Amino acid sequence: MSESDARELPETDEEWREVLTEEEYRVLREQGTEPKFSSDLIDVKGDGSFDCAGCGAELFDGDTKFGSGTGWPSFYDANDGAVELREDRSHGMVRTEVVCATCGGHLGHVFDDGPEPTGKRFCINGVALEHDEE
C-alpha cells in the first residue's frame, strides 16, 4: 500500500463500527469466521492484489491464490511484512491466526497443507479482503 492509498485508521471500537459493515466488523474485529463457500472471492483468479477490507493494506498477490476446495479464499504466501501470525487456542484447538500487520484485523488462519513453493495455505475470510484488479 502506498502512502497515497493509506487510510486513516479508526482509533476506537465505535469508529471501527462506523467504517465496517456488520459482517466485516464481526470477522475483522471480533475474530469471526464467515460461512464456507459464502465469499464471492473464492473463484476470483488472476491479476491484482487482495487488500485488507479494514485498512486497505495490500496483503496477498493474486498470483499466490489457489483453489483449495476448503470454502475460503486461499493463498500460498503473503506479501512481505503484510501479515502477522499469532497463536490461537480458541475452540479447543491450537492454530495459527493471520492478522493484518497494519490494523490488526483478523483475516483467518494459516496451515501447513498448501502447495509449493511454500507448503502454506493462508485460509482467509473473503469478507476481510477487497480485490484490487490492477
**Catalytic residue annotation:** 123
The 3-state secondary structure of 51-71 reads EECCCCCEEEEHHHEECCCCC
In Å, how far from its chain's centre is CA 105?
8
45 CB-near residues (< 8 Å, 6+ apart): 62, 65
